[in-house]
Amino acid sequence: MALHDAQLVHQECSSCPIRHRAVCARCETDELERLEQIKYYRSYQAGQTVIWSGDRMDYVASVVTGIATLTQTMEDGRRQMVGLLLPSDFVGRPGRDNAAYDVTATTDLVMCCFRKKPFEDLMLRTPHIGQRLLEMTLDELDAAREWMLLLGRKTAREKIASLIAIIARRDATLKLRAAKGQITFDLPLTREEMADYLGLTLETVSRQISALRRDGVIHLEGKRHVTIPDFDRLIEEAGDDSDGGMVS
């Protein structure tokens, strides 16, 4: 409610929560200053569409707080999520004028935006930005390939277990805790969004969550709050080899 208009937030890069993970992570203080000059913030409330696929997009951005999704839609309405953006993740593509996917805020969202042209210019003069962006893009490509295995070959039950494990890990990373022992967190997605992530229907998602709960793999309080009594058991249900994509 308080954030439905843009540009209400502002802060210094030096105290930014994503300072050391985002596209600016490798920048020296002088490079940061130049970025600081061209940046501005935008806020969206949960549920708002940030941009539609095909729309002109004259900026790129980092997610500062909150969660956003990238989705593709077919003419008949079938939807597939193709990206889940957490704090520090990058949105948009330098050198591209139009958005390739729908971007939606699933929680209240704050983004740190850079107008595309100045950002591209700065990239040419500041190798550290391009280097970090390459690293992040390669990470995303790895994640996408893990996701392809899930979509192409896993059963509904394994898909759900995998998603819960992914969220648990990311949550642990953000909170800087190890993803072992008793773990507790909130699902940031509705059943329908999970279905879009997993290539399932929301009914199947609901059924499989119920099944995992019945089997004691997860505990649920309300619809969103999850506790995982045994993380290894969850990983086993996900069908992953145990390392689980903890890419160095």
Partner DNA sequence: CGTCTTATTGACTCGTTTCAATTCAGGTGG
Partner DNA sequence: CCACCTGAATTGAAACGAGTCAATAAGACG
Interacting residues with DNA (CB under 7 A): 155-157, 190-192, 199-207, 209-210, 220, 222-224
By beta-carbon proximity to a copy of itself, the closer residue of 148 and 178 is: 148
Using CB under 8 A as the binding rule, the residues of this chain from 168 to 207 that contact a copy of itself are 198-199
Both ends of the chain: CA-CA distance in Å? 40
Q: Is 83 in the site for a copy of itself (CB under 8 A)?
A: yes
* Interface stretch with a copy of itself, choices 56-64, 104-112, 186-194, 240-248 (CB under 8 A): 240-248
**Closest separation in Å from C-beta 64 to DNA:** 23
Which CA distances in Å does 71 have to 68, 76, 99? 10, 14, 11
Give yes or no for a contact between 179 and 213, defined as CB atoms under 8 angstroms apart: no
Q: Is 115 in the site for a copy of itself (CB under 8 A)?
A: no
By beta-carbon proximity to DNA, the closer residue of 26 and 191 is: 191
- DSSP secondary structure, 144-186, as one string: HHHHHHHHHH--HHHHHHHHHHHHHHHHHHHHT--S-SSEEEE
Give yes or no for a contact between 37 and 94, defined as CB atoms under 8 angstroms apart: no
By beta-carbon proximity to DNA, the closer residue of 57 and 108 is: 108
* Interface stretch with a copy of itself, choices 26-34, 139-147, 186-194, 218-226 (CB under 8 A): 139-147
Residue 113 — φ and ψ, nearest 5°?
A: -105, 150
